[in-house]
Structure formats: C-alpha cells, structure tokens
Structure 1
Amino acid sequence: MQFPAFFDRVPVVRVRDPLAGLLGASEDGVLEYRYADAVRLAGHSCPTVAGAFLTGRAALAALYPDTLPERGGVAVDMPARADDGTTGVVAQVLTLLTGAAAEGGFRGIGGRFARNGLLRFDMPVEGAGGGVCLRRLDSGEAVAVRFDAGVVPADGRQKGRLMTILQGRADTTENAAFATAWQDRVRRILVDHADDPAMVRVTRLRPDPGGWPAPAG
C-alpha cells in the first residue's frame, strides 16, 4: 500500500485516552492519529474527509490549549441528520479523533470510560453558525467549528473528467489526471491551509448550566 507522499506532511493529532492506558493499548495512553488513519476509516481521501480531520484537530486544540486532549472526554453535536449529505462521514472521522460515539458506542467499565451517547445528530446549536459543536465533559467548555472547502477551489477541468469517467469513456491518462488533480486539492487543504481561519473557523460557545450548549430555536 502506498499513500500519496503529502500524507506524511499533514499535521498529526495527539490525544491521551485513559481507556487505552488502562487496557494497555498504549503504555501511557497517548495515541497519535494521522490523516492516513482517517483515510483507512473512510476508504477514500477527499475534501470532506480532510475537512473532518482538520475540524477535529482545530476543536481539540481550542478546547485543550495547554495539555493533550482527552479522547473520550469530549461530546460532539452534529447540526444535521446522520443521513444528510456528508454528515455521517464527518461524524465517523470525529469519532476516530475524539472517541465520541452514538448510542451504539462503548458503554464503559464500572461506570467509567463510556463513549456511547456522546455523539448526537440533528442538534443545531445557537451561535454555532451551522458548525459542528464539541464540548469538554469536565469543564463544559465548548466550541463550534465550520469548515469551508470552497477556500481551496477544485480544478475547473475536474467536472468534465469525472463525467467522462462515470460514462466509461476515460482512458488511463484521463483517470490518472483526475486522481492527481483530486489529491492535489486535498493536499492544498491539509498542508497549505491547515491553519487557515478562513477555511477552518473556530467559535467559542457559552455552555448552558446543564453543560450542553443551548440548542438553536
């Protein structure tokens, strides 16, 4: 297996997972997630997967500015339904990075380390501007993150190339040109614009007394 070379240049997300430490998956509980891990999970590399990876990275950095983020210590609210567009794909990548899972997730050990119920869908949050909301379980601190792939536009020839491929009329050269241009856009998103606030916008939210940020409306 050989991934594109730029995968190694993408920022790494480091977290500490107490459950991993308890069960010996990692001696100190520290885990590193690379973009290749998100690609293995999703089965492909695209602006959506890249954006989800950067969304999780930016949110965790904002919530834990002075220490390693705690995997399993963050809840995630997705603003749309799980079957709406790319919401499910984004949620899967965020589960990878944060541990937050829907109702079918890990239920914990002795009342600790539960991950189920920490990922919710169709939960727009006031002040989030339609972004994904992530909240620390210990402090209630919350942020919303919006990703705008339009900051890095696609090659104008891609639409025509894709149509030719889907119609079964593309040759090897055309297939290669499409794939190369596709991953070049992903590279620019992940490497050239990883810290671009115009593309990955983080907004701090005020949690309600119960801990969860107040739903919109």
Structure 2
Amino acid sequence: MTTNSTATDAIQSGTDWQVDYDADPIEIRDPVAEALGVLGPGDPFVITYRDAVKAAGHSCPTASGAYRIAQLGLDALYPDGYPVRSEIEVRAAGPRDDAAYGVMSRIISYVTGATEDDGFGGLAGGYGGRRDLLRFGAFDPDTPDPTFRFRRTDTDETVDVTYHVAEVPDGGPAIGNLQEILDGSASDEQRAAFADAWHRRVQVVLSGDSLFTVDAV
C-alpha cells in the first residue's frame, strides 16, 4: 500500500479538528489490556470527549450528554479509584432503536466496554469479558428524560444517571442555518454562526452538572 506525501502528512499530524472542547477525560482500567501488555498493571486508558466524537462520527448535545452520563456514573461508583471494564453493567431505560438511547448507548458502551451478546467474551475462562453487560428497556425510570443505570458487578453498588435534555439551551437563531448548510446554499458567515452556536451548546452540556441527576439505587 502506498500513500502520497500529503496523505502521509495528514496521518502523521492527526485529525484536523475545527473545534476544541473543555472537558475532563475519563480514565478507566481494562484487565485484558493489562494482561496482554497494552497497558501496565493498574494503568488506565484515557478517553477524551474527542475520542467519543470519533466513535459517534459527530458532536452534538446527545453525544456530549452520553459522554457526561458515563463520566458521572463512573465517578459516582468509583470515587477513590479507576473504574474497571468487565465489572460495569449498564442498563438503558429506553429501547435500542430510540433516537436518543441508540446514539448514547454506543458512546457509553465505547467508554465502559459493556456490550450486548455480540461483545468480547473474555480471555480463557472469560477473563475480562464484557458480553451481556448492556441491556435496553431494562427498567422504568421516574422521568421521560434519558436515564442509564450503572452497576458495579464486584460490589453491587448501583446508580441512575438522568440527562435533563429539555434544559439544554436551544442555541438561538443561528441553529436555523443548518438547512442551508445541508443544501449547500449557506454563506461563510452562516456556517460560522451555526458552528459557534452549535458547539457552544455542546460545551454547556460538557460543563453543566445541573443538566444531570445522579441517584443511588
């Protein structure tokens, strides 16, 4: 396989991000990565919101909300140490084909490792397995807002994290420029105004603890 110098330079320099976010990373251990020498014993993967954006393919209040749901749930369950993949069970209140729960679950699965029956089954004897740790429509929340339940399988500690999406700012009139952007008729000024308004909404979600509720179960 060959690449031209321009493509090679792009690969070496990394993604050409047009936006930056202020968001704390999520640190999480993975026993399989440690066993296979990907990580040192006890060392975590460091997952940033940019990693979540790569997994989702876009950045929006739903994606940033999912990232924060995972972050807040793990922080609550592991106040004094790193969370551990294969020891985190995730239950979604809504169905997999729901527009919000579907997108959110992809990011939460990416962070926690929890998957349905198609996930990693573990090394010999199931060590580090993450299969069957994600379920949809698993409980009835007290609110219509997206809610995910996180449980530590080693201690049985459980928390619900709810995202109050109705409280996310609407972004103002510049959000209305999206249709022109999609059909190719938007001016540079409209594109810039939309991007500024859109990503300010995302940053509000990444920074606003008031948009989320964490409850012990």
Shorter-chain TM-score tier: 0.7 to 0.9
1:100 aligned residue (101, 114, 123): 114
Which blocks of at least 5 consecutive residues in structure 1 are unaligned? Answer: 206-217
Hey, which of these two has a bigger chunk of helix by percent? 2
Question: Are the counterparts in 1 of residues 67 and 107 from structure 2 also a CA contact under 8 Å?
Answer: yes
Mapped partners of 2:136, 2:153: distance in 1: 18
Aligned-pair CA distance for 1:159? 4.5
**More deviation in 157-166 or 99-108?**
157-166
State whether structure 2 residue 203 is matched by structure 1 residue 190: no
Superposed CA offset, 1:66-102 (max 9, x none): 1111122101011111111121211111112111011
Question: Are the counterparts in 2 of residues 149 and 189 from structure 1 also a CA contact under 8 Å?
Answer: no
1:36-75, aligned counterparts within 5 Å?
36-75=50-89
State whether structure 2 residue 122 is matched by structure 1 residue 91: no
TM-score by length of 2: 0.85
**More deviation in 57-66 or 148-157?**
148-157
Mapped partners of 2:63, 2:73: distance in 1: 15
SS in 2 for 1:86: helix
Q: 1:128 to 1:105 in 2, by over 3 A?
A: farther
2:40 aligned residue (2, 27, 47): 27
The alignment covers a number of residue pairs equal to 200
Aligned-pair CA distance for 1:126? 5.7
State whether structure 2 residue 189 is matched by structure 1 residue 144: no
Aligned-pair CA distance for 1:176? 2.2
TM-score by length of 1: 0.85
SS in 2 for 1:38: helix
Which blocks of at least 5 consecutive residues in structure 2 are unaligned? Answer: 1-14
Q: Supply the RMSD in Å over aligned alpha carbons.
A: 1.9
1:91-130, aligned counterparts within 5 Å?
91-109=105-123, 110-125=125-140
1:136-215, aligned counterparts within 5 Å?
136-191=152-207, 193=208, 196=209, 198-205=210-217
Mapped partners of 2:68, 2:111: distance in 1: 10
Mapped partners of 1:18, 1:127: distance in 2: 35
Q: 1:189 to 1:126 in 2, by over 3 A?
A: closer
Mapped partners of 1:140, 1:148: distance in 2: 26
